[in-house]
Amino acid sequence: MQAAYLAVIYLFCLGLYCVVTEKNLIKIAMGFVIMEAGVLLFLVCLASFPDGVPPIVLEGVTSSSMVDPIPHALSLTAIVIGAGTTGYMLSLIIRLYRQAGTVRIDRMGRTEQ
Amino acid sequence: MTHLPILVIIVPLVYAFLVPLLDLVSSRLRTSAAAAVAVTHLVFSIALFIHVFQNGTLEYQLGGWDSEVGIILYIDGLAATFAVMIALGTALVAWYSLDFVREGESKYFLLLYIASAGLSGAVLTGDLFNLYVFIEIIALSGFALVAFRRGFRALMAAMRYMIFTILSSMLILLAIAFVYATMGTLNLGEIAASMHQFDPTVLKVSAGMFLVGVALKLAIVPLHGWLPATYGESSTPVGALLAGVGHKVPLYILIRFLYFFEAAAGEQRLATILLGIGAVTIAFGHFMALGQPDIRRVLGFSSIAHTGYMLVGLGIGTPFALVAVLFHAMNHLIVKLSAFFSVGMLTRGDRERATVLDLQGRGAASPFAGMAFLVSTLALIGIPPLGAFASKWALIMAAIRADHIGFALLMIAGTVVAAVYYGRIGKTLYISTDDLKPDRSWTAEGVLYGSAAVVCAVAFSFALFPAANRILDELMVFII
Amino acid sequence: MTLGKTATLAFLVILAVLLFSAMGALPETTDRMEAGGPTWHILRSAVPDTGAVNLVTAVLFDYRAFDTLGEATVIFTAVAGVVLVFAREAMVLSGKGLSPLAKKSMDILTPFIALLGFYVILFGHISPGGGFQGGVILASWAILVVLIYGIRTEEDVLTGFVKMFLESAGALLFVALGAVALIGGREFLSNLAAGFSPGDVGSVISAGSIPLLNVAIGLKVASGLAMMFVTMSKKDGDS
C-alpha cells in the first residue's frame, strides 16, 4: 500500500508542478489531469486491501472480502466531473489559440492590445 | 415531512434542463419562465427559512437513506439564512438580466440557473462529497458565464479563473479523500462529532489543503490572482453574481468549517492565522483599489477588502463577531449587487470595460442609476445610516471588545481609504464636461439632494429600530 | 532552472513529505470498514435495500444518487459552455472522411460497439459497468462515426430537435425518475421505498429505478461527450 501512496504523491506533485510552472495552456490542462489521476488513485487505494474482491454480490463471496464500494462510486463521479471540466478547458484553449495564435499564456498577454 | 429543501435546489435545475426545449418553442416563453422561476426559487427559499425558524433544524434524507448511509440535506439557521441570501441575489441578477440578454443567447439563463441551483445546493447539503459536486457545478457554470460575451479578454479572464478554481477543487477533493480515509463517512455532522478520531498529522494536512482550497475561492490575499480580471472582464450581471452571490458560498463553507474545527485542539492558532491574513487582505484590497482605472476592478478589490473584514471577524471568533460577519455578508451581497447594476446602467452601450473616466458626467445623464451608484458606494465605504455601516461598526466593536484594538484601527483606516477612492469615482460621476447640456448641474444637484434624502430616510428607519432590533436579535440568536 | 522553479520544487518536496506522513498515519482499510459507517451497512444490506447486485451501482444510483444527478448537471453545463464558446463558428466540412475501407469497417463494427454500450448500461446493476461506462462507449462510437465519415454527416443529423433532445433528455429523465417518489410522498430519488419493484434480484429487470437511472445517465454521458467532441471539431468560421 505504501508504494501506491508514493505513486499518488508523485502524480499529485508532478501535476501541481506542471500547473504552477508551465506557460503552455495545453500543458497546464495536462497538469490538472495528472493531479486528478493522483487523487483518483488515492481513492481507489482507500477502497482496496490485499485479496479484496469486487463488490458484486455473487454466490460464495462473503461481504467481508469485498472492497469498499463507496470510494469507487466517488471516483466515478469525480472522473465524469473531471472530464466535463477538462473538455470545457480545452474548448477555451482552442478558442484562445484561434484568437491569439499561441497557446502560451505569457505570449497571449502581449497580443492583448 | 416537507420537500422544500429539495425543491429549492431542483426548481432552478429543472428550468435549466428545460431551456433547450423552451427555446425551441419560443424565446419569449423562455425569458418569462426565467423570471417566474426566479420568484419561485426565492419563495421556496423564504418558506424554507420560515419552516426552519419555526420548527428547528431540518434534515432531508435523499432517497430515504438516513445520514448513516446516504446523502442528507441539513438545514439549520445558518444554512437557511445563506439559502435565502443566495436565492435573493440570484433572483435580482436574473431580473436584471431579462433586459440584458439578447436574442439568440439562450445559454445565458441556462448557465445562470445552473449556478443558482449549485449555490443553493452547496449551502443546503450535509454531505462532504456532495458539497464538492456542487462546488464543481458552481465553478463550471461560473467559467462559462465569465466567457459569455467571448471577447478575447473575457476568455483570458475565464481561463485564469479556471486555473485557480480547478486547483482549489483538486486540493478540496484530496482533503475529502483524507477525511473519508480516516472516518469512513462523508456526513458533515458525523465528521464534526468525531473530530477527535483524526490523527494530528492527518488533521493538519487535510484541514490545511481544504482551507487553502476555500481561500482560493474566497480570493484571500496571496491567492487572489484571479479575482480582479474576472470581475473586470465579465459582463455586469455575471460580475454581480460572482461578487455578490458566488462569494457567499466559500464564506459559508469557511464558517461551517470553523464551527467544526472548534471541537478539535489548536483552534487558537487558526484564529491567529485568520486575523493576520484578514488584516493583510484588508490592507491590500484597499491599497490596490486606490490606483485602479477600471470601475469593476475597483469593486473587485473592494470585495477583497471586505472579505478581509469578514476574516478578521471570524478570527475574533466571539459570538458577537460572528453575528457581525453574517450581517456584513448580507449587506455586502445587496450593496455589491446594486453597485454592479448601477455601473452597468451608467456605462450602457455595452462597452467591454468601464473606466472611471468613462463615467464622467454620466450621473447627470441617468439620475436614477447615478443615485443608486452613489448610495451603494456610500454603503461600501460605511457611511453611518446605511446597513453596511452598522455591520462594519459591529465588526469594529467586536474587535475592540475582544481587545484587538489594532484590527479595529485597521478597519477604520480601511474605511478612510475606501472613502478616498469611491469619492474620486463619485466626483467624476457628477463632474461637468463641456458636451453636456447646461442644465446638468441642476439635475446633478437634484440627484445629490435626492440621495441625501434617501440616506436620511434609511437613517431614520434605523433610529426607529427598537422593534426591528428585537426581530434582528431573535434572528441572530436563531442563526447562531 | 530559474529561481521560481527551484522554489516550486522545494515547496513540492515539503508538500510530498507532509502528504506521505499523513498517508502513513491513516488507519488500515479493513479497520475502517469494520468500524461501522456507511460501508459496513452497504456491504451487508445493499441487496435487500436496493435490489442491485453490483454494490458500486447501488451506491451511485441509490444511496448517493444525488451526487450522480449533480454529475449529470456538470456534463450538461460543460456541453452548454462548449457550445457557447463555439457559438458563432460555422459548421463547415472538416474533411470527406477516411477511405472507403475505413467506412466499410466502421459499418461492420457499428452494431458491435452499440451492443457493447447498451449491454454495459443495461446490465450495470448486476455486473461491472453502468451508465457512465456504457455512455462513454456509445460516445466513442459517435466520435468514430464523425472521424470516419467526416463532420458533414453530423451536420445532417443534428437538427434543432435532435440537438435539444440530446442535450436535455438524459438529465430530465433522471429528475423525473427522482420526482416520481415525491408523488408517493417519499423523499426525492427514493427507489424501492417509493414503490419501484425490486424484481427478481440478479436479473436484468430488477433493482427498481436503478436500470432506468442508468439509462438516463448513459444517454446523458454519451450525448454530452459526443456533443462536446463534435462542437470542438468545428472549423474556425471567423477567419
Q: Convert the pLDDT of each residue in C49-67 to its tens digit.
A: 888 888 888 888 888 889 9
Band of residue B236 on the pLDDT scale cut at 50, 70, 90:
confident
Residue A10 lies in a domain: yes
Looking at this protein, which amino acid is placed at residue B394? A
From the CA of C114, how many Å to the nearest CA of chain A? 21
Mean pLDDT (chain B) is 80
pLDDT, residue C26, reads 84
* B98 pLDDT more than 90: no
Question: Domain residue spans in chain B?
Answer: 266-480
Q: Which residues of B89-119 are buried (b: 16+ CB within 10 A; e: fewer)?
A: bbbbbbebbeebbeeeebbbbbbbbbbbbbb
**Largest Cα–Cα separation, chain B:** 74
pLDDT value for A48: 85
Cβ contacts of residue B473 below 8 Å, gap of 6+? none
pLDDT of B69 over the 50 cut: yes
What count of other Cβ atoms lies within 10 Å of the Cβ of residue B418?
A: 23
Average pLDDT on B347-368 reads: 66
pLDDT of residue C154: 53
Mean pLDDT within B305-315: 89
In the predicted structure, residue B466 carries a pLDDT above the cut 50: no
Mean local confidence (pLDDT), C177-193: 80
The predicted pLDDT at position C237 comes to 47
pLDDT at B85 over 50: yes
Residue B463's pLDDT is 41
Greater model confidence, C88 or C109: C109
What value does the mean pLDDT take over residues B393-419? 82
CA distance A11 to A28: 14
Nearest-Cα distance to chain A for B187, in Å, is 13
CB contact under 8 A, C22 and B63: no
pLDDT: which is higher, A1 or B66: B66
pLDDT score, position B454:
53
Which has the minimum average pLDDT: B17-31, B52-66, C141-155? C141-155
Q: Chain A contacts of C39, Cβ < 8 Å?
A: 68-70
Q: Within an 8 Å CB–CB cutoff, is residue B180 touching chain A?
A: yes
- Using CA atoms, how far apart are residues B102 and B218, in angstroms rounded to an integer? 31
**Greatest mean pLDDT among A26-40, B50-64, B450-464, C82-96:** A26-40
Query: Residues B282, B308: contact at Cβ < 8 Å?
Result: yes
Residue C77: predicted pLDDT: 92
Most confident of B453-467, C35-49, C89-103: C35-49
The C-alpha atoms of residue A94 and residue C81 are separated, in whole angstroms, by 13
Closest Cβ opposite residue B159 in set A25, A32, A85: A25
CB contact under 8 A, B69 and C190: no
Q: Considering only alpha carbons, which residue of chain B is nearest residue C168?
A: B17
ipTM of the complex: 0.94
CB spacing of C175 vs B10 below 8 angstroms: yes
**pLDDT at residue number A79:** 92
pLDDT band at B444 (very low <50, low <70, confident <90, very high): very low
CB nearest to B13's CB, from C33, C73, C181: C73
Q: Compute the average pLDDT of residues B410-422.
A: 82
Share above pLDDT 70 across residues of chain B, in percent, rounded to a whole number: 82
pLDDT of residue B166: 93
Q: Say which range, B263-277, B319-333, C105-119, has the weakest mean pLDDT.
A: B263-277
pLDDT the model gives residue B473: 56
**Is A26 part of the contact surface with chain B (CB cutoff 8 Å)?**
no
pLDDT at B222 over 90: no
- Indicate if the pLDDT at residue B65 is higher than 90: no
Q: Which of B71, B140, B166 to mutate to test the interface with A (most CBs of A within 10 A)?
A: B166
Confidence band for A81, pLDDT divided at 50, 70 and 90 = very high
Q: How far is A89 from chain B (nearest CA, A)?
A: 8
Q: Is the pLDDT of residue C159 over 80?
A: no
Tell me the pLDDT tens digit for each residue of A22-52. Answer: 889 999 999 999 999 999 999 998 888 888 8
| Mean pLDDT for the stretch of residues B256-265 | 65
Range scoring the smallest mean pLDDT among B471-475, C61-65, C192-196, C222-226:
B471-475
The reply to whether residue A68 touches residue C33, judged by beta carbons under 8 angstroms, is yes
Interface check A106 vs B, CB under 8 A: no
In this predicted structure, the answer to whether residue B133 has a pLDDT above a threshold of 80 is: yes
Choose the weakest-confidence range: A30-34, A80-84, B16-20, B258-262.
B258-262
User: For the ranges B324-338, B369-383, C80-94, which has the lowest average pLDDT?
Assistant: C80-94
Question: Is A46 in Cβ contact with B181 (below 8 Å)?
Answer: yes
Q: Residue B25 has which C-alpha cell?
A: 418553442
Nearest to B394 by CA among B377, B408, B381: B408
Task: Count structural domains, chain A.
Answer: 1
In the predicted structure, residue A109 carries a pLDDT above the cut 70: no
By C-alpha distance, the chain B residue nearest C43 is B69
Q: Scanning every residue of chain B, which has its alpha carbon at the shortest distance from the alpha carbon of C65?
A: B63
Number of residue pairs across A and C with CB atoms under 8 Å?
Answer: 131
Contact yes or no for C81 and B140 at CB 8 A: yes
Residue A55 lies in a domain: no
**Average pLDDT rounded to a whole number, residues C63-91:** 84
For A96, which of B140, B143, B155 is closest by C-beta distance?
Answer: B155
Q: How far away is chain C from the Cα of B141, in angstroms, using its nearest Cα? A: 6
> Which band of pLDDT confidence, cut at 50, 70 and 90, is reported for residue B332?
confident
pLDDT in tens, C104-136: 888 888 889 989 999 998 888 888 888 888 999
**Separation of alpha carbons C238 and B167, rounded Å:** 32
pLDDT of residue B455: 47
Quote the pLDDT of residue B99. Answer: 72
Give yes or no for a contact between C144 and C230, defined as CB atoms under 8 angstroms apart.
no
Q: Which residue of A has its CA nearest to B134?
A: A81
- Residue A59 falls inside a structural domain: no
Region of poorest pLDDT, from B5-9, B216-220, B367-371: B367-371
Q: How many angstroms away from the CA of B101 is the closest CA of chain A?
A: 22
pLDDT at B9 over 60: yes
A vs B: CB pairs below 8 A? 71
B256 vs A90 pLDDT, higher one = A90
Per-residue three-class SS string for chain B: CCCHHHHHHHHHHHHHHHHHHHHHHCHHHHHHHHHHHHHHHHHHHHHHHHHHHHHCCEEEEHHHCCCCCCCEEEECHHHHHHHHHHHHHHHHHHHHHHHHCCCCCCHHHHHHHHHHHHHHHHHHECEHHHHHHHHHHHHHHHHHHHCCCCCHHHHHHHHHHHHHHHHHHHHHHHHHHHHHHHHCCCEHHHHHHCHHHCCHHHHHHHHHHHHHHHHHHHCCHHHCCCHHHHHHHCCHHHHHHHHHHHCHHHHHHHHHHHHHHCCCCCHHHHHHHHHHHHHHHHHHHHHHHHCCCEHHHHHHHHHHHHHHHHHHHHHHCCHHHHHHHHHHHHHHHHHHHHHHHHHHHHCCCCCCCCECHHHCCHHHHCHHHHHHHHHHHHHHHCCCCCHHHHHHHHHHHHHHHCCCHHHHHHHHHHHHHHHHHHHHHHHHHCCCCCCCCCCHHHHHHHHHHHHHHHHHHHHHHHHCCHHHHHHHHHHHHHHC
- Residue A94 in this model has a pLDDT that exceeds 60: yes
Which of A62-66, B178-182, B388-392 is most confident? B178-182
C-beta atoms of A39 and B177 within 8 A = yes
Residue B266 has pLDDT above 60, yes or no: no
Among B386-400, B445-459, C65-79, name the one with the lowest average pLDDT: B445-459
Residues of C in contact with B143 (CB under 8 A): 81
Of the candidate ranges B16-30, B68-82, B259-273, the one whose mean pLDDT is the lowest:
B259-273
Write out residues 80-139 of C within 8 Å (CB-CB) of A.
81-82, 85-86, 126-128, 130, 132
| pLDDT value for A31 | 94
Instruction: Pick A85's closest partner by Cβ from B140, B155, B174.
Output: B140
The yes-or-no verdict on residue B125 having pLDDT over 80 is yes
What percentage of chain A reaches a pLDDT higher than 90?
Answer: 45
- Which of B203, B205, B227 shows the shortest CA–CA distance to B215? B227
Q: pLDDT band at residue B12, thresholds of 50, 70 and 90? A: very high
Residue B281, pLDDT above cutoff 60: yes
Ordered by start, the domain boundaries in chain C are 53-232
Contact C81 A88 (CB under 8 A): yes
pLDDT surpassing 70 at residue B81: yes
Q: Is the pLDDT of residue B439 over 60?
A: no
For position A16, which CATH number holds? 1.10.287.3510
Range of the domain at A74: 2-49+66-111
- Residues A71-107 as b/e (b if ≥16 CB within 10 A, e otherwise) read bbbbbbbbbbbbbbbbbbbbbbbbbbbebbebbbbee
pLDDT value at residue B396 = 83
Q: Which residue of A has its CA nearest to C13?
A: A13
Instruction: Encode pLDDT of C3-60 as tens digits.
Output: 888 888 898 999 989 988 888 888 888 888 877 788 888 888 877 788 888 888 888 8
Hey, are the CB atoms on A68 and C232 less than 8 Å from each other?
Answer: no
Greater pLDDT, C92 or A20: A20
Residue B159 contacts A, CB cutoff 8 Å: yes
